[in-house]
Amino acid sequence: MEQIRARVEVLESEIGRLRGESAGTRVLAAEADREVSSASEALRAHVGGLNALRQTQVEQSGTLREIANAVGALAVGQHGLTERVDKVEGRLGTLEGKVDALVSGQQAQNEMLAGLTTAIQRLSERG
């Protein structure tokens, strides 16, 4: 009987120790659960941030496409304007030539008129 009591005391002592360890294990498990929850919350926040960044990039990509299309249209329009300006410059060159010819003709007429005026004056002085 003595042995049984000694064994019971050892078992009860062991059970007490195990209960203490079990309580410590529960505390550690609760702390681990809180840390996992905190990590999960942080991960959800990071995923949310990445999703927002992705959405922003999608929107900005669309905006950049619109800008590229507008710049392309401007380049085409500028090319057309350049061609028109070149044509206008060609016409102005032609007009300058014609104006120069008119000025030369006018000068020749003025010289002829001056010559006629001089001839008329000489004739009237004789007459």
- d(CA 85, CA 100) in angstroms, rounded, equals 22
Q: Where are the alpha helices (DSSP H) in 1-127?
A: 2-126
Instruction: Quote the pLDDT of residue 101.
Output: 92
Q: Which two tokens stand for residue 77?
A: 């329009």
pLDDT in tens, 25-70: 888 888 988 999 999 999 999 999 999 999 999 999 999 999 999 9
Residue 14 DSSP label: H
**Count of CB atoms situated within 10 Å of the CB of 102:** 10
- Side chain identity at residue 36, one-letter code: V
pLDDT in tens, 61-115: 999 999 999 999 999 999 999 999 999 999 999 999 999 999 999 999 999 999 9
Task: Report the first-to-last Cα separation within the chain, whole angstroms.
Answer: 182
127 confidence band (pLDDT: 50, 70, 90): low
Write down the pTM of the prediction. 0.47
Instruction: Quote the pLDDT of residue 17.
Output: 84
8 confidence band (pLDDT: 50, 70, 90): confident
